[in-house]
Homo-oligomer: A and B are copies of this chain.
Amino acid sequence: MTGLSLALAGTVVPNKKKLKLMKPTINNNNEDKKKLFSSHHHNNNKGGDMVLRKKLRLTKEQSAMLEHSFNQHTILNSAQKKSLAEQLNLKTRQIEVWFQNRRARTKLKQTEVEYELLKKRCQSLTDENRRLKKELQELTAIKTSPTTTTTVAMCSSCHNKLLHPN
């Protein structure tokens, strides 16, 4: 199953004040061990198997552009990829990956929606079920009641005769 990210665990009910206070994350690789790149496979790793990858952070403009392109075509051909790559100063591979991830995200959203629908359906089924059971019980009660059975045990003509014997 795909990752249903269905955040069921929301548990956050009231939305509180959000004070934002951006902490300027002065994150930087203070320690740049760059240069080590690839020590592919097997390693007496200082700190594990480092692959030294570059993590991209897209700018607002790049994201916007990508989104826009995605809205037009969720899948690109190589020419389009190259074109976009040039415009955005990214590698075609990165464009490619971005679109893959973007498609995946779309699909994920879909599953979330499906889950919600299933939940609603389950609820209405439960309701209807309860209704049916109640109704059924009432009917059964009527059917098995002595009044009913004795009533239909004698036909109307007999009944009349009984009341008015000629």
Interface residues of A (CB under 8 A from B): 1-20, 22, 24-30, 32-35, 41-62, 88-91, 94, 107-108, 111-112, 114-115, 118-119, 121-123, 125-126, 128-129, 132-133, 135-136, 139-140, 142-143, 152-158
Contact between B27 and A18 (Cβ–Cβ < 8 Å)?
no
- In the assembled complex, the Cα of A44 lies from the Cα of B56 at a distance in Å of 13
Tell me, rounded to whole Å, the shortest Cβ–Cβ distance linking A57 to chain B: 3
In angstroms, how far is the closest chain B Cβ from the Cβ of A92? Answer: 11
Given contacts A56-B48, A89-B46, contact A8 B16 (CB under 8 A): yes
Is B55 a contact of A52 with CB atoms below 8 Å? yes
Whether A54 contacts B57 by the Cβ 8 Å rule is no
- Across the interface, A22 reaches (CB within 8 A) one of B3, B18, B135, namely B18
- Chain B residue contacts of A143, Cβ below 8 A: 139, 142-143
Given contacts A59-B42, A143-B142, contact A1 B8 (CB under 8 A): yes
In the assembly, what is the distance between CA of A15 and CA of B30, in Å? 26
Give the Cβ gap from A38 to chain B, nearest Cβ, in Å.
9
- A6 proximity list for chain B (CB < 8 A): 111, 115, 123
